[in-house]
């Protein structure tokens, strides 16, 4: 699990420097025998980056799923809550614990120096519901700002479903 998280963070950092608007990315690391596939989307609602990823580590048969949300701002901090976010799949609402949140002041980033991100692990019960659903809404909590409700666009949800269906 630690290898998955470590490699996932590297993938996310790579993706954060990417200029694409939406794409599916596949990764394989022969050194650690890690395989991953992710949906990377820029500029949705109040967020600058959303990464939905699936990863297998050496000898694992069950993948781990993680959602990473990122926000850059130029004038103030938006601290993601370190407790949970809520996901509404169809009419069912579930709270998902935050795995990790982080914020940085990036001195040489010009107009957008305030960076914050959060990582949420998705349990298999949520993944099984995402496979065939038509609507998903995230309620994202911040420690210092009002919560944000984000309706996941159909194109993005279709990418998430493609990630879920991807074979090892």
Question: Which tens digits make up the pLDDT trace of 46-57?
Answer: 888 899 999 988
Q: Please tell me the predicted confidence (pLDDT) of residue 60.
A: 82
User: What proportion of the chain, given as a percentage, has pLDDT over 90?
Assistant: 42
Bigger pLDDT: 42 or 112? 42
Q: What is the mean pLDDT of residues 31-41?
A: 89
Q: How far apart are alpha carbons 114 and 156 in whole angstroms?
A: 25
Name which of 58-62, 96-100, 121-125 the model is least confident about: 58-62
Predicted confidence (pLDDT) at residue 93 exceeds the cutoff of 60: yes
CB burial class (10 A; 0-12, 13-18, 19+) of residue 91?
Answer: exposed
pLDDT (tens digit, 9 = 90+) per residue, 99-133? 887 766 666 656 556 778 889 999 999 999 999 89
Calculate the average pLDDT of the chain: 81
- Residue 31 sits at φ, ψ, to 5 deg, of -65, -45
As a dihedral over the C-alpha atoms of residue 71, residue 158, residue 141, residue 56, rounded to 10 degrees, the angle is: -80
Domains in the chain, please, with CATH?
Answer: 2-165 (2.60.40)
């Amino acid at each position: 699990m630690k290898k998955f998280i470590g490699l996932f963070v590297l993938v996310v950092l790579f993706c954060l420097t990417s200029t694409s608007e939406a794409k599916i990315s596949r990764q394989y690391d022969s050194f650690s025998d890690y395989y991953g596939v992710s949906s990377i989307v820029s500029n949705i609602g109040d967020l600058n980056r959303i990464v939905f990823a699936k990863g297998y580590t050496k000898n694992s048969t069950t993948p781990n799923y993680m959602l990473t949300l990122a926000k850059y701002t130029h004038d103030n901090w938006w601290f993601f809550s370190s407790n949970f976010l809520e996901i509404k799949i169809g009419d069912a609402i579930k709270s998902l614990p935050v795995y990790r949140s982080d914020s940085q002041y990036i001195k040489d980033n010009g107009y957008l120096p305030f960076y914050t991100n959060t990582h949420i692990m998705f349990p298999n019960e949520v993944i099984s519901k995402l496979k065939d659903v038509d609507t998903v809404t995230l309620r994202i909590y911040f420690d210092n700002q009002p919560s944000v409700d984000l309706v996941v666009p159909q194109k993005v949800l279709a990418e998430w479903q493609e990630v879920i269906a991807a074979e090892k």
